Amino acid sequence: MDLKLEAVTHRYDKTVVLRNVSLDVPSGRITCIVGPSGCGKSTLLRLLGGLEQPSEGAVRQLGTPPAGCLNALTYIFQDFALLPWRTVAGNVALVLEDHKLGNIDAIIANVLARTRLTDFAGALPKQLSGGMKQRVAIARALAVNPAVMLMDEPLSALDSQTRELLMDDLVALWTRTPFTAVYVTHNLAEAVRLGHRIVVLSRRPGEVREIVEIETPLEDRRYGDAALEAQQQHLWGLMRDEAAAADAELLYV
């Protein structure tokens, strides 16, 4: 299932947050959204997920969700959103309990194996590191076999080493079973590591400045690769001046 924004403008009271944004989110690929602080990245994600309706324009879902999809659009947040009294397996089970399924245990076992959490199925969140908690959140999202995962800075609360490990995990997951995701981040290294295409938004009101396609396969991307470092520098060149200006602005006026 593809997502499409058509000439979307969005306002909060008198503040225009996004202006005339047209964007395709193709299936089977990771689309990263970057831009200066306050440019509307998270707002764009909420519009794609149907949590808000655009002030102008349209958000469309094209095609049909995959077979067995229980929730077409599924969020992954930076704060994990785990229930502290439930085990790892219990947190994953939460998204399945309202569906009349005869194979819940098999689904849980599958996604825990895919996220390397099988040995931690009985652990409570307080026993887990930040990286492990985010793996649980990813496993929970995968359990509903979503058409699109909407990922709002999912690694920003983690230390740099854990973030690198989680990026490796996401690449391995996508390589084994390609999924569709919209990934919001302020970290350009993350965007170049994970994104098939990177959408650069201007400062508020956010407009699409450029869409950068990364041709190197995810599994072949290596640190120190000159072409990837050049892409990262190009992204920063697009954003540098506007990021400095945005940092000195009030969020809402």
User: Does residue 18 have a pLDDT over 90?
Assistant: yes
pLDDT tens-digit profile of 123-181? 999 999 999 999 999 999 999 999 999 999 999 888 889 999 999 999 999 999 999 99
Task: Judge whether 234 and 212 are in contact, CB under 8 Å.
Answer: yes
Which domains does the chain carry?
2-65+147-247 (3.40.50.300), 79-146 (no CATH)
Segment 20-38 mean pLDDT: 95
Share of the chain above pLDDT 90, in %: 77
pLDDT tens-digit profile of 87-113? 999 999 999 988 888 889 999 999 999
Amino acid 252: pLDDT: 52
pTM of the model: 0.92
Amino acid 253: pLDDT: 42
Amino acid 48: pLDDT: 96
